[in-house]
C-alpha cells in the first residue's frame, strides 16, 4: 500500500459558501482541492434568484479569501434558486449570466427553505422546467418533502414519486437528486434514465441516525437529509464506490457558526470541507475501492454536467493528524478526532 495518493482536482457539485465573513472563512478550504464547485443559492440575507444575483454572488466569491493569492485554480459554478415565482424569462437571464443549474428546495425542508417551492405540478412551474431543459441548465433537487405525519427520516422516500414524474416529463432535463441518503433513493436513481444522477456526501457515508441522536444529541452531526439506517449507509457506500457514473461527489459542506449549532433548535448542516479529501480516501480504502475514488471526485460529475475534466492534481499523504476543534467560527466535521490521511499543501 502506497503512502501517497495523487488525484485529479475535484468537482464538488454541492457546496454552501454562504456570504460575508463565513464566505471568506470557508471558500479557501474548498479551493485547496476543488477545481470547481457548485455554489448553492440559498444564501441570506440575499438569495440567488436572478441573473443579476448570479453576477453579484460570483463577484463576492472571486473577492473572498486568499485562494486567488495562492494561485489555486478554482471556478465557482453558479446556480439560482427555483421558486414558485421563477419564470422562463428568469431562466434565460440566469443562463446568460452563467448559471449552470437551478436548485429546488421544497418548502420548509432545510436551511433557508422558507420560501421554497410549494407545488411541483403547477403548469407555470412546468414552463420553467421546460425552459431549463431547453437552455441546458440542470435541475438540482433537495429531494425531501415535509408532509403531514411523515417523520424526518421518511422525507426522502416520500419525495421519490415526484422525482419519477419529473424525470419522465422532462426526459432531456438533467436532474440531480442531491445528497441521496437512502437505499430507496439509490435504487430509484439507478432505475431512471440517463438524465438522472445523484450526488453523495462524505458524511452520509459515515453517519447513521445513531450518530446524531443515539448517544446524546450531537449537533455537529445533524444535517438534512438526516443520516438514516445502517442498510441505507451500506447502499450509499456501495453506490459511491461502485464506479457507476450516476453517482458523484457533492459534499454539501454547510458551515454554520458554532452558536447556531449549539443551541435550542440548532441549524442543520455539517462543515466537511476541511476533512473532505481525507475522509473520502479513508472510506474508499476501507471499502477496498480506492481505485474508484478519482472517478467519483473528479470525473463523473464533470461528465454529467458536460464539462471538461479539471486540470491539476491534489496529493494526499499517509500521516495521522487531529482535526482542529474549531476553524474560524465553525466546528468542522470530526472535530478533535484522528484521521489517517492528510492533504499535502
Known catalytic residues? 252
42 is in an annotated binding site: yes
Q: Could you write out the DSSP letters of every residue in 231-288?
A: HHHHHHHHHHHTT-TTEEE---B----HHHHSSTTPPP-B--GGGHHHHHHHHHHHTT
CB of 215 to Zn ion, least distance (A): 25
Q: Is the CB of 157 or the CB of 252 nearer to Zn ion? A: 252
21 is in an annotated binding site: no
Q: Is the CB of 7 or the CB of 54 nearer to Zn ion? A: 54
220 is in an annotated binding site: no
**What is the DSSP pairing of strand 338-344 with strand 313-322?**
antiparallel
- Which of 11, 25, 81, 252 forms a contact with Zn ion (CB under 5 A)? 252
Residue range at the interface with Zn ion (CB under 5 A); choices 78-86, 197-205, 246-254, 296-304:
246-254
36 is in an annotated binding site: no
CA distance 189 to 177: 8
CB of 69 to Zn ion, least distance (A): 28
SS (H, E, C) 2-25: CCEEEEECEEEEEECCCCHHHHHH
Q: How many CB atoms lie within 10 A of CB 65?
A: 20
CB of 287 to Zn ion, least distance (A): 24
Q: How many CB atoms lie within 10 A of CB 83?
A: 19
17 is in an annotated binding site: yes
* Cβ–Cβ under 8 Å, residues 225 and 219: no
Sheet holding 4-8, edge to edge: 4-8, 313-322, 338-344
Q: Is the CB of 183 or the CB of 203 nearer to Zn ion? A: 203
Q: Is the CB of 13 or the CB of 131 nearer to Zn ion? A: 13
Q: Which residue is nearest to Zn ion (CB)?
A: 252
| Stretch (H or E) spanning 317 | strand 313-322
Closest C-alpha among 43, 135, 154 to residue 92: 135
Residue range at the interface with Zn ion (CB under 5 A); choices 30-38, 123-131, 251-259, 308-316:
251-259
Q: Which three three-digit cell numbers place residue 64? A: 473572498
Total residues at interface with Zn ion (CB under 5 A): 1
Residue range at the interface with Zn ion (CB under 5 A); choices 249-257, 271-279, 295-303, 310-318:
249-257
Residue range at the interface with Zn ion (CB under 5 A); choices 27-35, 99-107, 127-135, 245-253:
245-253
18 is in an annotated binding site: yes
Q: Is the CB of 64 or the CB of 176 nearer to Zn ion? A: 176
142 is in an annotated binding site: yes
Cα Rg of the chain (Å, integer):
19
DSSP-derived 3-state class of residue 135: helix
CA distance 281 to 341: 7
Residues within the interface to Zn ion (CB under 5 A) = 252
Binding residues for Zn(2+): 14, 16, 103, 142, 179, 252
Amino acid at each position: 500500500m502506497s503512502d501517497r495518493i495523487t488525484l485529479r482536482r475535484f468537482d464538488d457539485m454541492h457546496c454552501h459558501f454562504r456570504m460575508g465573513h463565513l464566505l471568506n472563512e470557508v471558500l479557501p478550504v474548498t479551493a485547496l482541492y476543488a477545481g470547481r464547485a457548485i455554489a448553492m443559492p440559498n444564501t441570506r440575507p440575499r438569495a440567488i434568484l436572478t441573473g443579476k444575483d448570479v453576477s453579484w454572488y460570483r463577484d463576492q466569491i472571486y473577492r473572498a479569501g486568499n485562494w486567488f493569492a495562492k494561485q489555486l485554480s478554482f471556478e465557482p459554478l453558479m446556480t439560482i434558486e427555483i421558486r414558485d415565482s421563477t419564470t422562463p424569462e428568469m431562466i434565460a437571464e440566469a443562463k446568460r449570466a452563467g448559471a449552470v443549474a437551478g436548485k429546488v428546495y421544497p418548502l420548509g425542508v432545510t436551511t433557508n427553505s422558507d420560501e421554497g417551492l410549494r407545488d411541483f405540478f403547477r403548469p407555470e412551474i412546468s414552463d420553467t422546467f421546460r425552459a431549463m431543459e431547453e437552455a441546458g441548465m440542470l435541475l438540482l433537487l433537495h429531494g425531501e418533502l415535509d408532509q403531514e405525519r411523515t417523520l424526518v427520516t421518511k422525507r426522502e422516500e416520500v419525495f421519490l414519486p415526484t422525482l419519477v414524474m419529473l424525470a419522465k416529463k422532462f426526459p432531456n432535463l438533467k436532474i440531480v437528486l442531491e445528497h441521496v441518503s437512502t437505499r430507496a433513493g439509490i435504487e430509484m436513481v439507478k432505475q431512471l434514465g440517463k438524465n438522472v444522477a445523484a450526488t453523495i456526501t462524505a458524511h452520509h457515508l459515515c453517519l447513521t441516525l445513531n450518530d446524531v441522536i443515539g448517544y446524546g444529541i450531537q449537533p455537529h452531526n445533524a444535517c438534512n437529509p438526516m443520516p438514516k439506517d445502517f442498510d441505507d449507509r451500506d447502499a450509499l457506500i456501495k453506490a459511491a464506490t461502485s464506479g457507476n457514473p450516476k453517482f458523484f461527489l457533492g459534499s454539501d459542506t454547510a458551515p454554520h457558526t458554532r452558536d447556531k449549532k449549539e443551541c435550542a433548535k440548532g441549524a442543520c448542516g455539517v462543515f466537511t470541507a476541511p476533512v473532505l479529501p481525507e475522509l473520502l480516501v479513508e472510506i474508499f480504502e476501507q471499502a477496498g475501492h480506492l481505485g474508484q475514488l478519482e472517478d467519483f471526485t473528479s470525473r463523473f460529475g464533470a461528465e454529467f454536467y458536460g464539462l471538461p475534466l479539471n486540470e491539476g492534481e491534489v496529493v494526499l499523504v499517509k500521516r495521522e493528524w487531529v482535526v482542529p476543534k474549531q476553524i474560524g467560527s465553525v466546528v468542522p466535521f470530526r472535530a478533535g478526532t484522528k484521521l489517517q490521511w492528510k492533504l499535502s499543501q
